[in-house]
Amino acid sequence: MADVKIIEVSPRDGLQNEPNLISTNEKERLVKLLLEAGLKSIEVTSFVHPVKVPQMADASDVLEAVNDIENWNSIALVPNLKGYQRAREHSLYEVNWVSSATETFNQKNIGLSIDENFYQFEELVGQAKKDGIKVCFSIAVSFGCPYEGDVSEEQVLKLVKRVKEAGADRIGIADTIGIATPDQVESLMKKVLVLAGETPVAIHLHDTRGLGSANAYAAYQAGVRIFETAVSGIGGCPFAPGAAGNLATEDLVYLFHRMNIDTGLDFEKLLDAANYAASLSSKNPLGRIRHVERKPKKERLS
């Protein structure tokens, strides 16, 4: 059994902000490359309104394309109950429900107050349990908000407490704009883990300021063992001005493997997936390690 669990988010978070339309076949190929690398939990798509996020308009088609593949957990993001009603028509392992630590970002992101969003979440939990689908509650802008600035630990911990009591199967803490520093990550995550108790906790990091790997290490030191990342570091939130891509999966895996921390992943095949993901992006992906790990052997050994 691996020492850490990595949840791959590139098909959803990695592509959602991409201006060029990515075909369903290309998304299917990306998922299959990720599976070949050994990833077992993949956030495939999101059931958001296609006008708001056109890149996810083919959510149902993408899930249908990979539905017959066995031995992995498919995840879809849902922003509201209407999105869940669409998602539940598919064979999903988990839905990811997103709220925010600040009122302004919640309004910009999903058009609801934190309380309004949470009341819908409580209703969702009951429905999902009947449907046999697990539920993750992710808290966006947990370390800083593009509209309100600094976010206190108390704001995040208040939501964590409510989420645990509501019956979430997993809790996600997201640095949506990549503003966190390692000391902040270690401090907050230690407190989140205590509050969450037996409920699994994941951290979702963006590498906007180049601190993604350092923050992941700080989270690991705090006791976190579930990490959400995207191959090649593609991505960014369309509702967070200035937000850059996710922490690159291959960068984190390289770090963990050098530290003899088992991820259960095939690094070479992960590089294949990362290079393919980068080819789909119109931006300059943030992932670093893939640029130095595929040099000719003579260079690599010098």
Quick one: 88 exposed, middle or buried, by C-beta within 10 A (0-12, 13-18, 19+)?
Answer: buried
Of the candidates 5, 4, 16, 9, the one whose C-alpha atom is nearest the C-alpha of residue 49 is 16
* pLDDT of res. 301: 31
In 3D space, the residue among 236, 216, 227 whose CA is nearest the CA of residue 41 turns out to be 227
Q: Which two tokens stand for residue 288?
A: 């670093």
Mean pLDDT per 10-residue interval, the chain, length 302 residues? 97 94 98 98 96 95 96 97 96 97 94 95 97 98 96 98 98 97 98 98 96 98 98 81 83 98 97 96 89 55 30
- The phi and psi torsions of 63 (rounded to 5 degrees) equal -65, -40
237 catalytic? Reply is yes
Measured CA to CA, the distance from residue 236 to residue 228 in angstroms comes to: 13
Annotated catalytic residue within 30, 124, 196, 237: 237
Query: In this structure, are residues 44 and 62 in contact, taking their beta carbons and an 8 Å threshold?
Result: yes
Task: Show the domain range for 135.
Answer: 5-301
Residue 241 confidence (pLDDT): 63
**Segment (H or E) for 164:** helix 153-166
Question: Judging by DSSP bridges, how do beta strands 226-229 and 201-205 pair with one another?
Answer: parallel
Q: Which residues contact 25 (CB under 8 A, 6 or more apart)?
A: 65
145 phi/psi in degrees, rounded to 5:
-120, 140
Distances (CA, A) of 89 to 54, 293, 300: 20, 41, 49
pLDDT confidence of residue 36: 98
**pLDDT tens column, 242-300:** 666 899 999 999 999 999 999 999 999 999 999 999 999 988 888 999 988 764 343 33
Give the single-character DSSP code of 21. Answer: P
Say what the pLDDT of residue 294 is: 63
Is the distance from CB of 239 to CB of 141 less than 8 angstroms?
no
In the DSSP assignment, the letter for residue 206 is: B
Question: DSSP label at 246?
Answer: B
Residue 125: CB atoms within 10 A of its CB come to: 18
Distance in angstroms (rounded) separating the CA atoms of residues 205 and 173: 9
CB 84 within 8 A of CB 108: no
Output the pTM of the full model: 0.95
Instruction: Tell me the C-alpha distance between 15 and 9, whole Å.
Output: 9
DSSP-derived 3-state class of residue 111: coil
Confidence at residue 297, expressed as pLDDT on a 0 to 100 scale:
40
Q: How many structural domains is the chain composed of?
A: 1
Q: Which two tokens stand for residue 28?
A: 């299917």
Give the CATH number for residue 269: 3.20.20.70
